[in-house]
Structure 1
């Protein structure tokens, strides 16, 4: 999963630091919660999930990779 996430976000330096599944899920939750954005302009978790799923669907990943990564995003978004 870590490799898939890194393929999805190749320009993000922070993705290169991810080594474990726990770190991956933590980083994905930060993304879904839009924690790195100023509070006044943050998007909702649903909006961030929709953007992530769109990026996944438009990526060069295989269909099975897309399905796996999308499932993890959805699982984390429902927490």
Structure 2
């Protein structure tokens, strides 16, 4: 799943350094919480989830990779 996430975000240097499932989940949560955006323009977790799921669906990943990432995003967005 780490490799699938790397394919989804090839331009993010930090993503290329993920080596464990725990680190992957940490980065997905950072993305879902919109932590890399200024607080005044942050989107809600549900908005970020919708954008992430759209990106996954439109990606060139295999169906199984898409399914795994969608499951992970939903699990972390709705604990």
| TM-score (normalised: structure 1) | 0.97
Shift of 1:17: 1.2
Shift of 1:56: 0.3
- Cα separation, 1, equivalents of 2:66 and 2:53: 9
| Number of the residue aligned with 1:52 | 52
Local SS of the residue matching 1:37: coil
CA RMSD of aligned residues (A): 0.6
| Number of the residue aligned with 1:39 | 39
Structure 1 unaligned segments of length 5 or more: list them.
none
Local SS of the residue matching 2:34: coil
- Cα separation, 2, equivalents of 1:2 and 1:17: 10
Aligned length in residues = 79
- Cα separation, 1, equivalents of 2:66 and 2:31: 18
- Cα separation, 2, equivalents of 1:8 and 1:38: 23
Instruction: Write out the 4+ residue segments of structure 1 that deviate beyond 3 Å after TM superposition.
Output: none
Q: How does 1:1-79 map to 2 (within 5 A)?
A: 1-79=1-79
